[in-house]
Homo-oligomer: A and B are copies of this chain.
Amino acid sequence: MAYVETKPTAGRHFLQIPGPTNVPDRVLRAMDNPTMDHRGPEFGRFGKALLEKARTVFRTASHVVIYPASGTGAWEAALANTLSPGDRVLMCETGWFATLWREMAERLTLRPEFLAGDWRRGADPAQIETRLREDKERAIKAVCVVHNETSTGATSRIDEVRKAIDAAGHPALLLVDTISSLGSIDYRHDEWGVDVTVAGSQKGLMLPPGLSFNAVSAKALKASEDAKLPRSFWDWRAMLAANETGYFPYTPATNLLYGLDAAVDMLAEAGLDNVFARHDRHAEATRRAVRAWGLEIQCEEPRHYSSSLTAVRVPEGHSADALRATILERHNMSLGNGLGPLKDRVFRIGHLGDFGDLQLVGTLGGVEMGLRAAGVPHKPGGVQAAMEYLAGNA
């Protein structure tokens, strides 16, 4: 862990992967309080208030379950609480994380159907509607969509997916992964009729990894009564029963809950809509930089541009990973790598969480200097283009 300044770089590391994000001091300090008795009266008051206010971030009046586990666990919880072995689920190939979720579904003995995608846009509502209309026997029990595909920087339109399901008149549950969008990109659990929202602590919520979430609709709760997948740790029932008085059925990750309390307060103080606007603005500035460099944005559909990250393709014959290594070595910044078939083809710029204009300028500056140092063909002027946009929209 020791800090060793062995090269011209010094100063704070730029953690510009699309999560975990830079944890603000206020959250770190909150986490740094002594662990309290999770069965004592003070915890009950704290837990009850926290479970209540956590709902605001999901824009739901329904239950939010908090797991002492990282985000992948909440994927499993969403499936395990609502489905039974052999159940058919409709999933959308938006990229690497959608693929991993499908693999998880298979391992859990579900039968996922994967609507093919080209990893350059969000889920296709029309495709979903078509498939659901075909499913006359209502064999499909759930539609699973990754709201913001972290591997590609494409944000699916959940409102349109909802309409597609409704248009097909299909009773399937809608399960949505918001791990890299919650608290960064507009999201509305209730208004969009989502049944289970899956989220994690380490992105827009500005916490270290270690907490994950299920926001649960009444319909999902009802489905959980008949769901047959074996479950214990992830079981909503014991959770919700204990949560009524502010407690948890087993030891919660107390110190991360302190941090969550601070993070939810910060989002409320800022106003969620202001936070989303900030992310939209930084994403647009980033895309302008990418275009000025003459590079290609992985997401081809402007309506699906992600406001929390931008995946950038490097020209054929060049290595995104070599570029990232150069930037890390020379300028002390971590960028996201390409995943799966995008390995070494894209790098990903995270611009989410506790992040400001000047961090963005520094981040884009690091990319631009790195492109030059790594010999990746590009035009200079990306930072300049971003600054022009930022200055004109402050």
Residues of A near any B CB (own CB < 8 A)? 1-15, 17, 19-26, 28-41, 46, 67-73, 75-76, 85, 103-104, 107-109, 200, 202, 208-210, 229-233, 235, 250-256, 258, 261, 266, 269-270, 274-275, 277-278, 281, 328, 330-334, 336-337, 354-363, 365-366, 368-369, 372-373, 380-381, 383-384, 387-388, 390-391, 393-394
Contacts and interface: CB of A to CB of B under 8 A. Distances in A.
A38 B24 contact: no
Given A210-B256, A384-B384, A15 B32 contact: no
Nearest to A4: B269
Given A12-B24, A383-B384, 7 more contacts: A3-B26, A6-B269, A29-B33, A72-B250, A333-B358, A373-B391, A373-B394
Given A10-B356, A13-B34, A359-B12, A72 B230 contact: no
A355 B278 CA distance: 25
Contacts of A332: 356-358
Contact of A278 (B10, B40, B270, B361): B10
A31 B107 CA distance: 33
A383 B384 CA distance: 8
A336 B208 CA distance: 29
Contact of A363 (B6, B333, B358): B358
Given A253-B208, A255-B210, A390-B369, A17 B31 contact: no
Contact of A70 (B10, B29, B103, B253): B253
Given A250-B71, A251-B20, A369 B383 contact: no
Nearest to A258: B1
A326 to B, nearest CB: 9
Most buried by B among A8, A275, A368, A380: A8
Contact of A254 (B46, B104, B208): B208
A144 to B, nearest CB: 14
8 contacts: A5-B274, A6-B270, A70-B250, A76-B233, A109-B230, A209-B251, A209-B252, A330-B357
Contacts of A358: 11, 14, 331-333, 362-363, 365-366
A67 B330 CA distance: 33
A387 B210 CA distance: 37
Given A361-B365, A383-B387, A17 B5 contact: no
A22 B34 contact: yes
Contacts of A14: 358
A266 B17 CA distance: 26
A39 B103 CA distance: 21
Given A24-B3, A37-B17, A230-B230, A369 B355 contact: no
Contacts of A256: 208, 210
Contacts of A1: 30, 33, 46, 258, 261
A229 B210 CA distance: 25
A237 to B, nearest CB: 10
Given A8-B278, A251-B202, A384-B380, A15 B37 contact: yes
